[in-house]
Amino acid sequence: MDKDTRFQRLESSLKAARYGSSAKEVLETCALVAQYAQEHTPDQVKAFQEKVEINPQVWLRLLALHRDERLRKCLEHLPASYTTLYAIHRMSDEEIDAAVQQGVIHLKASSHAILSWSKQNRQRSGNGVPPWRCLLVFDREIEKKEFSIMRFRLNEIAREYGASLMSEWDYIKNDSASDESKQQVISELEKKILEISRPFYDRMSDEEKQQAGVIQLENLLHLDITTFGWVTRPDSKTKIGKGRPYTPPYVYKLALQFQVTDSRSQRFNCKRRLRDLAEKQPDLKELIEDVLATYMTA
């Protein structure tokens, strides 16, 4: 397969958010991401990310998976989910060995199960990492451009481990920055929901729009989750009630509810509903794992 064909395959995979039907195929996709990043400029990579509509954070995770040689050593145990593979990537060598031996890492393992096991294991062993700050000291003068490159690289490494890089001033303003970051996530989710819900809104009759209280597309954001699930049902013949199938907008709507509430119980329920849905609708499982890992980790 020539290079152009491989990159066309990569483009198709990323656009569909289908990285492979096995762990081996997922890692092959990660290898293509690494190859593309190596052979193109940062601007070209950014343009490609926008073209295939992949979150830059997901792109970095795929790069991290490619660099983790440990994953290839236990390939026969790994699931075909990049979010679960990334959870495994964040484990230590000892944790991976123990998780494989205990059957925690297996072909159907979820990222939630891996993260929960890791957290409990670290608490039992007393190896949990406490909040940590570091001070970067320069032994010489450094140019602004050189500093920007260094900061970009450090931030890229930090993100691989679920950390972030911030200045002293940013640290002092952490609370307000956190609020701003949360609002950005909410705005991103709202935009995503409206974008993928438009076809469902457009198929509604004027009478249905009036009954549901969605005179404008933006009104979908304020619907209760039950009505929203009905509006975005797979086909117009589906009735309101338990057991009906759901679509991707419903998944993002629950993520939005998770973000806008400060209630721990409501947040727990949002996560629980998505995990239950992943079991009932395998076609949404990969999307749900991605949404849980990207928007619902708090």
pLDDT along the chain (298 residues), means of 10: 77 86 93 91 90 87 92 92 90 90 88 80 61 72 78 74 61 52 85 92 86 82 86 70 76 92 86 92 90 84
132, 162 in Cβ contact below 8 A?
no
Tokens of 76: 């026969």
83, 290 in Cβ contact below 8 A?
yes
In this predicted structure, what is the pLDDT of residue 193? 93
What number of CA atoms fall less than 13 Å from residue 219's CA on the CB side? Answer: 13
Tokens of 133: 């700050």
In this predicted structure, what is the pLDDT of residue 163? 67
Q: Does residue 163 belong to any structural domain of this protein?
A: no
In this predicted structure, what is the pLDDT of residue 2? 66
Q: Does residue 63 belong to any structural domain of this protein?
A: yes
**Statement to judge: residues 180 and 280 lie in one domain:** yes
**Statement to judge: residues 107 and 185 lie in one domain:** no
**Statement to judge: residues 12 and 116 lie in one domain:** yes
**Statement to judge: residues 191 and 271 lie in one domain:** yes
In this predicted structure, what is the pLDDT of residue 240? 45
In this predicted structure, what is the pLDDT of residue 238? 53
In this predicted structure, what is the pLDDT of residue 223? 83
Tokens of 127: 């190896």
Q: CA-based Rg of the chain, rounded to a whole angstrom?
A: 21
Domain range for 60: 3-125
In this predicted structure, what is the pLDDT of residue 3? 67
**Statement to judge: residues 189 and 280 lie in one domain:** yes
196, 249 in Cβ contact below 8 A?
yes
In this predicted structure, what is the pLDDT of residue 63? 92
Q: Does residue 145 belong to any structural domain of this protein?
A: no
